[in-house]
Structure 1
Amino acid sequence: MPSEFGIHWITHDNRKLLGSVSPGVFDHAIDPDRLNAYLASPANWMGVAIHEGLVVGMVMTVIHNHPDKPTELFLDEIGTGDDWRRKGVARLLIQAVFDRADEAGIEEIWLGTEPDNIEANGLYKGFKHEREDAVIYYFDW
């Protein structure tokens, strides 16, 4: 099935590809001002999977440059349309991230997910990985 999907990296020039998005890909409607701010930073990568003009999946990442260790990539978010789950879309998007990270010389990719997110954990276990238990703090100020 992956051959049914085209992968595109969203830029200011092709952001109109986001004009038709399957429900469930994003948590909320895309705000044009927020999209422009996101795309303004070269550290932000947004990839989409498109099937017949419809965005059926997305992945967003953030490059972290450090003064004392190699550059790493945070896989911030991945979403698949409600009707497009379990069809290889998320796997294809993650592989596209791996390929782009290789081209950019990035040595480490990391992400976080909830322990009870069965689908996501199943997806991530399908890739070569090292799992670490972690604690996440959300600060209110």
Structure 2
Amino acid sequence: MPSAWEDPDVAESRGRRRGILQPPHAEVRSPQGRCLEARAATPTGDIKSLGGFPPRRGREHSMTFAIKRLRPGDEALFANIADDVFDAPVEPARLAIYLSSPSHMMVAAMQDGLMVGQCAGVIHCHIDKAAELYVDDLGSASTHRRQGIAAAMLTELFEWSRELGCEEAWLATEHDNDVAKTFYRGFSPIEDASIQFYLFKL
């Protein structure tokens, strides 16, 4: 396995290259082969407890955490966020708008009341083809990396979007972000190196 895989949770979906990710089906395994199937779930299926993964090299213990699909009313979960989960402080007004939008999705990794990771996406609906998921952001605490958190969150976001009718998911990252590229390639995506990015200031 490439050495870049040693720290996959620093991978972020920001950047300028498009790749298609087929949302995984049935039992899903991370690129290390660890099963990401939930140990337990609430009746609504919104919370999944994961843990007990074999520790990676140099780690003596594995970590247990919960993956939660965020919805309106979950604002209180953002009161205790670990460092590096988001790029900047969360603004309450923007958070309320995000959680109330049916096309915006976010899953969080929680451990003992602390948000240690988040993965966000947007569902794009079309009139001439099936809806697709754009993975907009992926971040985890610097203190909780190399524990499978990023893989678990992305897997849950794929599952959720599939339930809502999406047939494909896509994201982008920088050319030189080898850690991110190694991480995403573990999900067997179709890669497209022909896309040119344009940003318009409004």
**TM-score range, shorter-chain basis?**
over 0.9
Partner of 1:125: 185
TM-superposition CA deviations, 1:110-134 (whole Å, max 9, x none): 0011111122111101112101012
* 2:117–2:149 contact (8 Å) kept in structure 1: yes
Partners of 2:179 and 2:117 lie apart in 1 by 15
Equivalent residue, structure 2, for 1:76:
136
Percentage of identical aligned residues? 35
* Whole-Å separation in 2 of the counterparts to 1:9 and 1:15: 12
CA distance in 1, matches of 2:113, 2:122: 26
For residues 1-141 of structure 1, what are the structure 2 equivalents within 5 Å?
2-3=50-51, 4-133=64-193, 134-141=195-202
How far is 1:102 from its partner? 2.2
How far did 1:105 drift? 2.1
* Distance across 1 between alignment mates of 2:140 and 2:168: 24
Q: Which has the higher helix share?
A: 1
Tell me the TM-score normalised to structure 1 length. Answer: 0.94
- In 2, the alpha carbon distance for the partners of 1:40 and 1:103 equals 18
Question: Which is further off, 125-134 or 2-11?
Answer: 2-11
Corresponding residue SS for 1:57: strand
- Aligned partner letter, 2:110: I
State the 1:40 CA deviation. Answer: 2.1
Q: Which has the higher contact order (CA 8 A, sep 6+)?
A: 2
Gaps of 5+ in 2: 1-33, 35-49, 52-63
For structure 1, the residue ranges without an aligned partner over 5 or more in a row are: none
Asked whether the 8 Å contact 2:118–2:153 carries over to 1, the reply is yes
Structure 1 CA distance, aligned partners of 2:110 and 2:129?
35
- Following the alignment from structure 1 to structure 2, what is the Cα–Cα distance between the partners of residues 118 and 84? 20
Structure 1 residue 46, shift from structure 2 partner = 0.9
Count of matched residue positions in the alignment of Structure 1 and Structure 2: 141
Residues 106, 157 of structure 2: 8 Å contact kept: no
Q: Would the aligned equivalents of 2:123 and 2:161 in 1 still touch at CA under 8 Å?
A: no
Moved beyond 3 Å, runs of 4+: none
